[in-house]
């Protein structure tokens, strides 16, 4: 059995020239990038925004359908208040400065995670950006904000438990499809490729369910230095892999 026949229907199986439909990136290394240059951490975050812009543009040009970026984890609240404020300011600036370009270039914005903890003005800005770009089809840009994979799965478990207790579902019928339909990523294509920059080799609570059969790629490049060339290298690496999904 070859890789193509072993893969679930519609899921890229790898092979030269194959472009993953759904790529996710743990954008790591902003602080180390700044430290190497004797700059404040916020300088690394600002440079990281430029890497986001370049990577989004490259993803659209390559034909990637969905690009999911880990922008702020549920654990990032442990960082100093000043750094969190800088990150929220950069997020506001990104939406304000990039929204016209995203809309013009056919990019649909989607948010995953629990953004209710953010300031109301930022929540409104994000919701308005998603609404404005909702009809775009060239590329879906998913930004994970106050997101944690364990929390996502726990929220789904609570929903199913409530439904079972209320008698609207039979617990014995709960399966993977029912869980996936309730995840933040519902209706998105399966995750094909998950990249982490900066040389770290862990998932850090990102897309834990979705990464079950994703290809994982850990690169030494610090996020501010990532861009079109690095993404192209990652896609080429994906194309060389044989995705067996438990088959031979």
Is 182 annotated to bind ligand?
no
67 in a known ligand binding site? no
**Which residues on adjacent β-strands are paired with residue 139?**
107
The rounded distance, in Å, linking the Cα atoms of 123 and 100 is 18
Identify whether the C-beta of residue 67 lies closer than 8 Å to the C-beta of residue 142: yes
Residue 33 is labelled as binding a ligand: yes
- The residues with which 32 forms a beta bridge, in sequence order, are none
The tokens for 131 are 């609404």
| Nearest in space to 56 (alpha carbons), one of 9, 110, 107 | 107
Check whether 96 is labelled as a binding-site residue: no
Active-site residue numbers?
A: 28, 76
22 is in an annotated binding site: no
Q: Is 101 annotated as a binding residue?
A: no
Q: How much is the CA Rg of the chain, to the nearest whole Å?
A: 19
Give phi and psi for 96, each to the nearest 5.
Answer: -65, -45
Listed in sequence order, the residues at least 6 apart from 92 whose beta carbon sits closer than 8 Å to its beta carbon are 122, 125
User: Is 223 one of the annotated binding-site residues?
Assistant: no
Question: Does 209 count as an annotated binding residue?
Answer: no
Distance CA 21, CA 64 (A): 5
Asked whether residue 202 is marked as a ligand-binding residue, the answer is: yes
**Please, which residues bridge with residue 26 across strands?**
70, 196
Structure tokens at 189: 């294509």
Is 28 within any annotated ligand binding site?
Answer: yes
Is 73 annotated as a binding-site member?
Answer: yes
Nearest to residue 184, comparing CAs of 61, 30, 84, 74? Answer: 74
Is 215 marked as a binding-site residue?
yes
Is 243 strand, coil or helix?
coil
Annotated binding site: 28-33, 41, 45, 73-75, 77, 79, 196, 202-204, 215
Annotated binding site for Mg(2+): 28, 215
Annotated binding site for substrate: 29-33, 41, 45, 73-75, 77, 79, 196, 202-204
């Amino acid at each position: 059995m070859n890789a193509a026949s072993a893969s679930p229907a519609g899921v890229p199986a790898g092979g030269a020239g194959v472009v993953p439909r759904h790529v996710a990136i743990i954008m790591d290394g902003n602080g180390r990038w700044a430290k190497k240059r004797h700059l404040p951490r916020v300088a690394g975050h600002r440079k990281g925004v430029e890497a986001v812009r370049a990577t989004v543009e490259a993803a659209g040009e390559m034909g990637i359908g969905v690009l999911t970026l880990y922008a702020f984890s549920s654990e990032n609240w442990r960082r100093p208040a000043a750094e969190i404020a800088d990150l929220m300011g950069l997020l506001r600036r990104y939406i304000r400065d990039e929204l016209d370009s995203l809309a013009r270039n056919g990019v649909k914005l989607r948010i995953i995670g629990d953004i209710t903890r953010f300031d109301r003005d930022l929540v409104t800005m994000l919701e308005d950006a998603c609404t404005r770009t909702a009809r775009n089809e060239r590329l879906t840009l998913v930004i994970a904000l106050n997101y944690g994979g364990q929390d996502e799965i726990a929220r789904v478990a609570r929903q199913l438990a409530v439904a079972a207790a209320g008698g609207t579902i039979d617990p014995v019928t709960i399966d993977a499809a029912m869980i996936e339909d309730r995840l933040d990523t519902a209706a998105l294509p399966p995750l094909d490729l998950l990249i982490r920059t900066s040389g770290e080799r862990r998932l850090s609570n990102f897309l834990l369910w979705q990464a079950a059969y994703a290809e994982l790629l850990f690169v030494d490049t610090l996020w501010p230095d990532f861009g079109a060339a690095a993404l192209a290298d990652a896609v080429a690496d994906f194309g060389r892999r044989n995705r067996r999904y438990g088959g031979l």
